[in-house]
Amino acid sequence: MKRLLIVLIAVLGFASCENIESSPYEFSINAKNGADEKKEVKFNVTPFIVDSLKISKTTLIRMASDAARYADWNVKNKLTYDFNENELVGNMIFLNDDNITISIKGKASNSYGVPGEITSFIYFDIETKEMITDENQFPKVDSHEL
């Protein structure tokens, strides 16, 4: 009886962990920061993107990977850029006007070595799910420093 109880608890534990990982509204990717170190970057997706637009998790992961590659686009000292690891302040994928926007929070140091927070917004076409670029094929990235 004792063994059955232990097995039951273990199975329930594994099952609950699996449900957390398979949430359609959350996922994480590995991306390189300015120091070329791999970091885990977590994303939250608004339910409208998944439920109404029917964008697959595979497509969202590809879009998030592309966005993470350009998160430091407007940073002056790119080698100091690092992704924000704060669980309370998440990276978001949401619908904005006629495009899908991915916001990525990070930090970087200025020329004097003073660290600052930065949020980058990378835009994707709602139809093609491809990154929006300018006439020179550079990505459209807006950044806001805090």
| Digit-coded pLDDT (tens) for 107-138 | 999 888 899 999 999 999 999 999 999 999 99
Q: Indicate whether this model's pTM tops 0.75.
A: yes
Q: How far is CA 52 from the centre of its chain?
A: 20
| Digit-coded pLDDT (tens) for 57-88 | 999 999 999 999 999 999 989 999 999 877 65
Q: Among 72, 64, 69, 71, which Cα is nearest to 124's?
A: 64
The rounded distance, in Å, linking the Cα atoms of 52 and 25 is 13
